[in-house]
Each structure stands twice: as structure tokens, then as C-alpha cells.
Amino acid sequence: MTLIDGKAVSEKLRGELKADVAAFIEKTGIKPGLAVVLVGDDPASKVYVRNKRRGCRECGMYSEVIELPADTTQAALLQLILDLNTRTDIHGILVQEPTPRQIDNTAVINAIDPRKDVDAFHPMNVGRIMTGNFDFLPCTPAGVMELLDAYNIPIAGKECVVVGRSNIVGKPQAMLLLHRHGTVTICHSKTVGLAEVTRRADILVAAVGKPGLITGDMVKEGAAVIDVGMNRIIGNDGREHLTGDVDFESVSQKAAYLTPVPGGVGPMTITMLLRNTLTAAKKSL
């Protein structure tokens, strides 16, 4: 079994991206800029936001983190987005989810200029992903595709099963695999006979948020298994651990390729966000 090293692939891509950013700045005098908006103080979100800021800095991009209190009104957040939409030094805008209850995420996403929507959550970008005519790819599914390519895992004609149908991962993931000529099935909580479906998969992507859902008996011998799960659980040592949707022990006995958690898909997501930010800066010309 080959362990897919998301950290190594991510580092290589970030090295290339850093060179691309430097070349872009040299040519245009424009430094790509990302605004990350964090409403409230969810501890996991704070870590993600910090990593996004660090990623920008490392790749030579500008970043601005705007931290707003948990009781920020919808109107205030929308006004902030409108301001960011008009700023010429900001090319990408991201509102970290989850947001507090009073915030309507759909309205927030709809307010972001689609040209600055580096999450690719705006309906215009979602539609463009559907047709294959896109500028931005959603970060996590794009990271999964990069991992498959980095390990030369063929997609065309293969049985691809995506477990999970979220707008952020499952649905766009299925679409990206389809664009690459995979035969794609989407499973979810109402799927009857989940194991029978997952056992068909040459490529199995788990993105549901249920620790250990995918066990060895659900996996075909020689499959590539991609674990998108990011579950925080309290371990036997009483401390918080990050664990995936895949039962690593049993699945590693069957799979030919497997992503660990942490160190698989996770590191790729921010790299794809940084790439989208450079793309947005290029498109702004």
C-alpha cells in the first residue's frame, strides 16, 4: 500500500506557486491579495485562518485577516464584503465557515464578487464547474484531483464513488471526477447498501464527517482511497485528535493507495486556495 503524502505534494506545488507569484509581481507590479473574514472565535476556524495567512506569506502574497465579533450582524458583514469587492489590492475573498447563527451564508456567498470568489462557492462559479468552463476550482476537491495526478492514478473509465454530497466537497468532487471521464456514483446517508456500492470503487472518496465510517470490508482490493474527513475526537489520552472518515487500519490492508489524516488532503486545500488567489489576480487585469 502506498501512503499518499499530501504534505510533500503540497510543498512541491507551493514551491511552483511561489515562483509563479514572483513572476507575476515582476511583470505587473501587482501583489495577489487574499482577504479572510472570520466571524466569531471557533477554535478550529482560527487555526485554519492562521494557516491560510501563513500560506499567503510563504508564497509571496498579501493577506488580510478580518476578525469580527460573534455578534456581528448580517448587514455589517454584507457591507464589509461590498467594500472588499471594490478594493483593488484584494483579489480573493473568503468568509470562513461555520459562521454564527444570525449569518445567512447563502446571502454572504451571493454578495461576493464571483471574480473574487476563491472558494468557488458562488452560484456562478458552481454553475461554471458544472459546465467545465471554470476559473476557480473548489479547494478541497481540486486538492484531491492533484493528489490522484501526483501518484498517476488513472481516472478515465474508472469506477469513482464519492461518499458525501456537500456543496463544498461531495458534489463538486463528483463533477471533477466526471470531467476526467470517471464513472461516478454519489452516496449519502440515505444510500441503501453503502458497502456494496463502495466495493465497486477503483477510486473511493470519503467526505461525510463520520469517523471510521469506511472500513476494510467496504473497499475493493487495490483501490485508491481518499479520506477527506477532518473529525476532531478525544483520544484515549484525553486529548483532541484529528481523524478521518476511513478506518485506517483495516482499509490499509485492502487499498493500493490511501491518504492519511492528518497529512493527506488537508495540506492540499490551502495550496489550492493560494492558487485560486493567484488566478484571481491574473484575471483582474
Footprint of ligand GUN on this chain (CB under 6 A)? Answer: 94-97, 119, 139, 168
Judged by CB, which is closer to ligand GUN: 204, or 207? 207
Q: Is the peptide bond before 98 cis (omega within 30 degrees of 0)?
A: yes
Q: Hey, is 68 helix, strand or coil? A: strand
Catalytic residue at 158? Answer: no
Output the smallest distance, CB 154 to ligand GUN, in A: 27
Degrees, nearest 5: CA angle 187-214-199: 65
Judged by CB, which is closer to ligand GUN: 19, or 82? 82
Catalytic residue at 46? Answer: no
Output the smallest distance, CB 171 to ligand GUN, in A: 14
C-alpha cell, 231: 473529525
Output the smallest distance, CB 143 to ligand GUN, in A: 10
| Residue least distant from ligand GUN (Cβ) | 97
Judged by CB, which is closer to ligand GUN: 94, or 137? 94
DSSP-derived secondary structure letter, 114:
G
- CA-based diameter of the chain, in Å? 56
DSSP-derived secondary structure letter, 102:
T
Judged by CB, which is closer to ligand GUN: 21, or 120? 120
Q: Is the peptide bond before 100 cis (omega within 30 degrees of 0)?
A: no
C-alpha cell, 65: 485577516
Output the smallest distance, CB 269 to ligand GUN, in A: 6
First to last CA, the chain: 46
Residue with cell 488513472: 154
List strands edge to edge, sheet with 92-95: 62-68, 33-39, 92-95
Q: Hey, is 247 helix, strand or coil? A: coil
Nearest partner of 216 among 162, 257, 245, 254, judged by Cα: 254
Judged by CB, which is closer to ligand GUN: 224, or 265? 265
Output the smallest distance, CB 37 to ligand GUN, in A: 9
Catalytic residue at 20? Answer: no
Judged by CB, which is closer to ligand GUN: 91, or 158? 91
Instruction: Tell me the HSE value of 174 on the side-chain side, using a 13 A CA sphere.
Output: 18
Catalytic pick among 5, 20, 117, 119 = 119
CA dihedral 42, 63, 103, 127 (to 10 degrees): -120
Provide the residue count of the chain: 285
Give the DSSP H or E segment for 161. strand 159-163
Active-site residue numbers? 52, 96, 119
